[in-house]
Amino acid sequence: MTSSARPLRLGILGAADIARRRFLPALQRCPAFEMAGIASRSYERAAALCSQFGGHAYDSYHSLLDDPGIDAVYIPLPPALHFDYALQALKQHKHMLLEKPATVTLEQARQLCTVAEESELTLYENYMFLCHPQLERIKEIISAGRLGELRLIRATFGFPRRASGDFRYQKSLGGGALLDCGGYPLRLALELLGSQVQLTDATLVPDKSAQSPQEAVDLYGNAVMRSSSGLTAQVAFGMDNAYQCSLEIWGSRATLRASRIFTAPPELKITLIIRDDKGEELIEVPPADQFLLSIERFAAAIGNPATNAELRDTILQQSTLVEICRQKAGYSL
């Protein structure tokens, strides 16, 4: 829809690390969008980013949302702030590229989906790894029967503890391992096991260094999911863990391993490893900028009702899994 028309004007809420490092460099390479501006709680921070990437600096989120010249908004705020600002953006008739996790609760996801549908706007949750060609290649390998019958899927995503002020360790900002890094392996399991997947068991372990038990986020955890055909996925995640970013698929004939499944950098050539009783086969996937591919997927969805319905369904399925994961683990917000 954007090919014939003028580029859509996209604004950003928050001078976030991920916007500076990954989103803005990718946006510059996407002709579907024009970088319209950045809003920050600090005008200086917005101006500093605009001097690097162009666009207008706004001194508040509301001034950007109120600007009728903005067609689409990217929200890389802490998760607890996603819902209110995304709702306002949709009500101002702007398409939404929402950083993961789209919302903290299922109810919030439902409300955003309803407003997006009624307003015929795109609501997109930015799980970029879904756009990397390595995932397509893995699906082809499975379909071709190279691994045999699938016995188990195992996906892990975790990283060492970050600075204590990071929103990820603050409950009031929507922190916690499940929302931050757990969403990736859950989303991958949903992709590989299909929408009828059941989450059967989960563990979430609270951060003992929190000021009080009420303020403790979940620091690490795991979950078990089962497809309608009985295939099991074990997922694990954590934000006080040795680094892991992997997918392992164990079949009756061979095992496949991908070691940068969620965060492949744009310049990295990916090597998938298949092991069977004859040895190892290395499958190379050329480098790809999954951030740019994700922005392009968002652009392609705008004005496409069928794609938008699928995007909303997936957001709801993912939010449902997250909610069930909390219930099974006995964790309350």
Residues noted as catalytic: 100
11 scored as a contact of ligand NAP (CB under 6 A): no
| Footprint on residues 39-68 left by ligand NAP (CB under 6 A) | 40-42, 45
- Residue 267's Cβ-count burial label (10 Å; 0-12, 13-18, 19+) is exposed
Q: Is 230 left (phi over 0), alpha (psi -120 to 50) or beta?
A: left
The region of 12-20, 66-74, 204-212, 267-275 touching ligand NAP under the rule CB under 6 A is: 12-20
**How far, CA to CA in Å, does 272 sit from each of 185, 232, 260, 278?**
17, 21, 9, 16
228 scored as a contact of ligand NAP (CB under 6 A): no
298 scored as a contact of ligand NAP (CB under 6 A): no
Tokens of 167: 């929103």
Angle, alpha carbons 178-181-182 (nearest 5°): 45
The region of 25-33, 36-44, 202-210, 267-275 touching ligand NAP under the rule CB under 6 A is: 36-44
The residue assigned the tokens 């694990």 is 236
76 scored as a contact of ligand NAP (CB under 6 A): yes
- The DSSP bridge partners found for residue 84 are none
311 scored as a contact of ligand NAP (CB under 6 A): no
The alpha carbon dihedral of 185, 189, 190, 192 has a sign of positive
Determine the Cα–Cα distance for residues 333 and 325; give it in Å rounded to an integer.
12
Determine the Cα–Cα distance for residues 57 and 48; give it in Å rounded to an integer.
9
| Footprint on residues 141-170 left by ligand NAP (CB under 6 A) | 167
Shortest Cβ 44–ligand NAP spacing (Å):
10
Give the residue, chosen from 95, 100, 187, 326, that forms a contact with ligand NAP under the rule CB under 6 A: 100
78 scored as a contact of ligand NAP (CB under 6 A): yes
How many residues bind ligand NAP (CB under 6 A)? The answer is 21
Determine the Cα–Cα distance for residues 190 and 179; give it in Å rounded to an integer.
15
17 scored as a contact of ligand NAP (CB under 6 A): yes
272 scored as a contact of ligand NAP (CB under 6 A): no
Give the residue, chosen from 67, 71, 99, 191, that forms a contact with ligand NAP under the rule CB under 6 A: 99
At residue 43, what is the residue type? Y
Q: Which residues bind ligand NAP (CB under 6 A)?
A: 14-18, 40-42, 45, 76-79, 81, 99-100, 126, 128, 167, 173, 180
